[in-house]
Amino acid sequence: MPDRALLPCRHRGPRQAGGVFGCGSPRLIGLKLVTHEHCSECGLRDHALEPNEPEPARHLWPCAHLGDDLPQAPGRRRCSHPRHRETDWAACQECPDYLFPRFTSFLPQTTVRRLIALGPQRDQPDGWWRLDNVQRGYRELARRFARRKHPYPGRFAGRGIVLAGGGAYFACAYVTIRVLRHVGCRLPIELWHLEGEMNATRQAIVEPYGVVCRNADALVATHPFRFLDGHWWKGWQLKPYAIAHSAFEEVLYLDADCYPVRDPEFLFSWKGYRRHGAIFWPDLPASAFLFGPGARQVFGVAVPGPPLESGQMLIDKRRSWPQLQSTLWYNSHADYVYRHLWGDKDTFALGWALHGRKYAMLHDQAGWEGHTILQRDADGQVLFLHRCRDKFRFKQETFSSNLQHASENIYHPKLALEDFCFEALAELRIELGAR
């Protein structure tokens, strides 16, 4: 039997673009766009009309507004439409605001922007993020968001360190916390994590070092954000979210696997930070292609300087609040943005450039030693060790962001504090076993 998707239908019109056809069926409402997949699932394909037959409207695919089932109301579902927050199948068939859920190359910009606003995207054709009208839609929405007023909320105070690291990253975070206290840093620390990544035992282990644990998922209800639940990209999204919603006004952010070789508090007094309100560090020279001319063209923002490496950042939220909000916007659309960038790191450059603001940057490129990125201070001395390719761990963990050089940690005699770090890891193993 031939593929039903290839069988003719009197209502299917000529191809418009990208495998999408117009449909003349009176039972299809909305944009009247179909694909072969639609046609193969259509119980009304090539339907003949009987005399006096009523013509109820019919959607071939669920509307993009349609949400999850309502457990307390069988047969009804959530709906993101601004005029009705829940619906049922019968109401959907009569709704004039049905939104075709798939990006195509000829959708008008108003429809593209409506779909983007409903994200994260679902059931999209492969390569949807490359469509010119989709890219234009994201550029326009980013500019519109930047033009809004973003008043500083004023609920933050003081200086502190923010770490992102629960779950498989807890061992890294513990070593970094121990190093911070070992080198004399007395700043308060917040350890941010996702739901299920920290239990009472782990929290009790870090609390004596002046660490407060913050669950980002528990905060979303009061500080909404589009996390990509079920996707490992969510860990990258966590970083700007943690910076923005930490209790501190001035934040030194560190990845769980990034630690200083001496007390970094002096950075808050560095003249570049005092002038611009933010310090970022560069990535390795080999990463230049990750934010090259093609990606800059996609986002339509002139970003000066080399790609960023976001394992460590210093941000004054009072002076950088609008830029930080735009950075959050880019990360909230990670299902699109991360297909053009390597995670969150260059979204900070985009956020600052979108507002025409400059940031301080130390040096033009990072250094490398074995498995670790070396970041330097203004005098050229190594200040941070970002152990990205040999994260501290107890077993052969899988880290989706990058591969590890070996199945277990490798002692590197050229790195500062190496003995202390391995001793801290051994202490954590004993501590977890004892508890």
Q: Give residue 319's pLDDT.
A: 98
Residues sharing a CB contact under 8 Å with residue 206, sequence separation 6 or more, in sequence order: 173, 174, 177, 191, 213
C-alpha distance from residue 72 to each of 69, 240, 337 (Å):
9, 36, 36
b (16+ CB within 10 A) / e for 358-397: ebbbbeebbeeeebbbbbbbbeeebbbbbbbbbbbbeeee
Residues sharing a CB contact under 8 Å with residue 71, sequence separation 6 or more, in sequence order: none
Beta strand pairing call for 367-369 and 278-282:
unpaired
Length of the chain: 435
C-alpha distance from residue 435 to each of 165, 200, 203, 350 (Å):
20, 10, 12, 45
May I ask the CATH architecture of the domain 159-434? Alpha-Beta Complex (3.90)
**Phi then psi dihedrals of residue 329, to 5 deg:** -60, -45
Q: Give residue 49's pLDDT.
A: 47
* Residue whose entry in the numeric block shows the structure tokens 């959530």: 78
For helices 317-332 and 347-354, angle between their N-to-C axes, nearest 10 degrees: 120
What are the extents of the domains in the chain? 1-61, 159-434
Q: Give residue 266's pLDDT.
A: 97
Residue 157 CB coordination number (10 Å) = 10
Q: Which residues of the chain have pLDDT under 50?
A: 1-6, 49-50, 57
* Residue whose entry in the numeric block shows the structure tokens 């790195």: 415
Q: Give residue 5's pLDDT.
A: 39
Instruction: Give the H or E element holding residue 184.
Output: none
Evaluate whether 28 touches 9 at the Cβ level (below 8 Å): no
Residues sharing a CB contact under 8 Å with residue 140, sequence separation 6 or more, in sequence order: 109, 113
Coarse DSSP helix, strand, coil percentages of the chain, rounded to the nearest 5 percent: 35, 20, 45
Q: Give residue 170's pLDDT.
A: 96
pTM of the complete model: 0.84
